[in-house]
Structure 1
Amino acid sequence: MTSPATTPPVYPGGLDRSQVVAWRNAIFIIFGVCGVGLASWMARTPAVKAALGISTGEMGILILSLAVGSIVGLVASSHIIARFGARKIITWCLAIGPLGLILAGFGVSILPNFAIVSAGLLVFGVGMAVCDVAMNLSGAVNERVLGRTIMPVFHAFFSFGTMLGAGIGALAELAGVPIFAQAAVVSAAIIVASMVAVRYLQSENAIEQDTNPDAGHSTWRERLSIWADPRTLTIGLIVLGMALAEGSANDWLALTMVEGHHVDKPSGAVIFGVFVTAMTVGRLAGVSVLDRYGRVPVLRGSAVLAIVGLLMVIYSPVVWIAVVGVVLWGLGSALGFPTGMSAAADDPRTATARVSAVATIGYVAFLVGPPMIGFLGEHFGLLNALLPVLALIIVAGIASGAAREPKKA
């Protein structure tokens, strides 16, 4: 007697499993290439500083250009994504953003000029920030369709990308590859890989219409009103503190190890790679840890790890102990941003606006952090300049209750 044929499950939007998995894998690639682009540049910051002949404070202003571009992109992102959809926006951003990286490399290696580098980083920041919101939104919708926790794995692929980018930067430094050549090759790879991946993305609007037929496009007033929601602001504080924990390492760790612990430039790039490797491990392990213990205990534990690690980096007179601190710092920074994004997207009706708002608050860390650390580093040394980061991580730990999972009906 033959068993009756089973009907394959149909997901929201009329998708089958192969389409949902292909969508998930495409988001993995998109997160990864964004990590490659950012880290390959950040790993060369000591070389950028030397090539332009600028001070630590001026380096902070240069990094600020990237942050300003990010803030501009984030502020506009919810309106742009609501108008055109995440898939189209990701396509545009990953075509235009890398061109800014090429321009920045041109301003370092071919025609050394602070303004050209600043302009390139501004363009790169806008593109990557809008893409950041769009890919997090697409990832959050994919997570809901799959019906299981997947957001930390998306961010782990960003960390895989940063590991690869840091390795590219370290090897390029050792080989004496000009920053322009590195930027051009990396940017071309990003554009090609992303153009393949976006073909498999699905429309978040189609999914929402299928699960909630009465849903309509929100107005710009409704999207702005999300800023008055206390939960949005408190989740934003979590992401702010943990984004600063992550972003301060992205911006300054390589240079801090060179100037604060007197390692050579290639070693500084490698230690930055240690940080992003620790973040990757934390994000891969984070799926099971979050499912077992829940968001709030995990976020509080993460804050403790990040604080202990930072204290070891700042105060240890021994390099290997500082490197252990870098590992703890990376592990503690791993889950703050992805968990905040998942919490922001809990309610499908407000997901786009809230993800955009929370990401914008988080990116304030990238706006305020670089010049703050640069200014303090100019006067008190880069190690001491990391002390304010501790305060905001403590705030993030205290605010963690806002990320609690919604009660099941």
Structure 2
Amino acid sequence: MELALTRSELVRWRTAIFAIFLASGLSIATWASRVPAIKTTLDVDNTQIGLMLLGAGVASIVGLSLATPVLARFGARRGMLVAILTFAAGVAVIGIGTDLLGSYVAVIAGLALFGLGNGAVDVMMNVEGAAIEKHTGKTILPLFHGFFSFGTVIGAGIGALAAAWQINVLLHALFMTAIIIIIAVVSYANVPVREITGDTAAAEDKPHWRARVHTAMAAWREPRTYALGIIILGMAFAEGGANDWLALGMVDGHGATPALGALGLAVFSVSMTVVRVFGGPLVDRFGRVTTLRVLSGLAATGLLLFILAPTVPLVFVGAALWGAGTSLGFPLGMSAAADDPAKAAARVSAAATIGYVAFLCGPPILGFISEQVGLLNTLYILVALAIASGLASSAAKPIAGSKVGAGHQH
């Protein structure tokens, strides 16, 4: 039986989950903004940096996979607290490994903790965000993901200042670790104890946690999980491809300067963030399925314009449409996976795993193919995936008993 929440309790819960999404973004931007300094301090090459990234990516996928048993065993509140403290420790170890130990292996260990914690918390914070949607009856997961984007912007800004002021990675990392720990503790105190996420003490009639894990793994046997996975995969692939290849595509494919290439990526990111912040009411008006179909068409159109545009200004328009089109695939896929609160954790974990594998593995695959056919031609793969995402969007229709994302057509 779910406890009824007062308005104040609901606001505190929502604010805590906003803060957790923000903290995840902060941690990622802290690492990313100091890669040049870490490379210089440790005197490593791009191949070794690539191995660091691979280690963090593998750890993230392990964290995603562990989220379901952790939720079943310890509940969402404690699970999120431990996961955030894990990636906070990872940020600290990255700093210690860089400036105190001067150890490449220590930095990889830090990145493993960082990836493990972020992967695990990603599932849990989406489960909590989807639960808040159920309580409010409104689509707000896109806004939660917008706060993740805010976290990356704030973290990148702090990182840029730290680099400009020549603050070493250790001091910067320890400062950010302290901020993340404060967010973790305060957020934990404001997330309500809920039976459905296993936060309450085990009751006599409650299944053993191993039985709950077994039930949770059933999500991988449900066709809807894979259909949602296609929606998320297409958009995650397109988002990850933009992060790694959009700027280079403008420079190598359209003859733009490196500064314009960076600006193109900024246009993509701003467009994506804006739609995430303001997209919830659109979903509540038109429904998940219609919104996803329109956005997949927008993404495909933007990509085609980016590939084929004869002038650089039109390439920027393509980047903006590309960003807007890919903005809601991931959060709406998570929201759909969590339609049934009793199975939300397992389904979100399964769908998120498919998405993150695409997000992490997609860009290197695109890089390999681009060596054979050219970068702009490679982006046609993203066009096809965006269309596939749109074709699969009917899977996001709310299940019986769930009103969030159904739309209010008149």
TM-score band (shorter)?
A: 0.7 to 0.9
Which stretch of structure 1 is more off in the superposition, 352-361 or 105-114? 105-114
Distance 2:31 2:50 in 1: 14
Whether 1:183 and 2:173 are equivalent positions in the alignment is yes
Alignment correspondent of 1:204: 194
Shift of the 281–364 alpha-carbon distance from structure 1 to 2, 3 Å rule, reads same
Equivalent residues of 1:13, 1:206 under 8 A apart: no
For 1:180 and 1:372, the matched residues in 2 are separated by: 33
Whether contact under 8 Å (1:138, 1:204) holds in the other structure is no
For the structure 1 residues 177 and 373, does the alpha-carbon distance in structure 2 shift closer, same or farther, using more than 3 Å as the test? Answer: farther
* 1:286 counterpart residue number: 279
What letter matches 2:348 in structure 1?
A: V
Q: What secondary structure sits across from 2:392 in the alignment?
A: helix
Give a deviation string over 1:38-94, Cα, whole Å, max 9, x none.
234335556666775534x66544322222111101111101111101111111111
- Of 261, 285, 288, 1:295 maps to 288
Whichever residue aligns with residue 230 of structure 2, its letter is L
Q: Are residues 359 and 22 of structure 1, via their aligned partners in 2, closer, same or farther at CA, if it must alter by over 3 Å?
A: same
Deviations 1:269-316 (A, max 9, x none): 665444332222101221111111111121122222223333444555
2:153 alignment partner, one of 163, 170, 179: 163
In structure 1, the residue matched to 2:13 is 23
Residue 399 of structure 1 is matched in structure 2 by 392
Q: Structure 1 CA distance, aligned partners of 2:129 and 2:398?
A: 17
Query: Percent sequence identity over matched residues?
Result: 45
Partner of 2:338: 345
Determine whether 1:54 maps to 2:45.
yes
Distance 1:180 1:381 in 2: 40
SS of the equivalent of 2:185 reads helix
Distance 2:184 2:264 in 1: 28
SS of the equivalent of 1:406 reads: coil
**SS of 2:341 mapped into structure 1:** coil
Consecutive unaligned residues of structure 2, counting only runs of 5 or more, are: 403-410
CA distance in 2, matches of 1:253, 1:41: 21
Residue 4 (structure 1) aligns with: none
- Match for 1:165: what amino acid? G
SS class of match (2:139): coil
- Counterpart AA for 1:84: F
Give SS of 2:220's match.
Answer: helix
Structure 1 stretch displaced more, 141-150 or 59-68: 59-68
Whole-angstrom CA distance in 1 between matches of 2:308 and 2:378? 12
Q: CA deviation at 1:402?
A: 0.5
Q: Is the 8 A contact 2:275 2:328 kept in 1?
A: yes
Which residue does 1:140 correspond to in 2?
130
Select the residue among 44, 65, 69 that pairs with 2:59.
Answer: 69
The alpha-carbon distance between structure 1 residues 342 and 388, as it changes in their structure 2 partners (threshold 3 A), is same
1:95 and 2:85 equivalent? Answer: yes
Aligned mate of 1:335, from 321, 325, 328 = 328
Tell me, yes or no, if the aligned pair for 1:346 and 1:406 is still in contact at 8 Å.
yes
User: Are residue 305 (structure 1) and residue 295 (structure 2) matched?
Assistant: no
Q: CA deviation at 1:141?
A: 1.4
State the SS of the aligned residue for 2:45. coil
Q: Which residue of 1 aligns with 2:26?
A: 36
Which stretch of the first structure deviates more once superposed, 23-32 or 319-328? 319-328
The answer to whether residue 349 in structure 2 is matched with residue 356 in structure 1 is: yes
Structure 1 residue 158: deviation in Å? 1.3
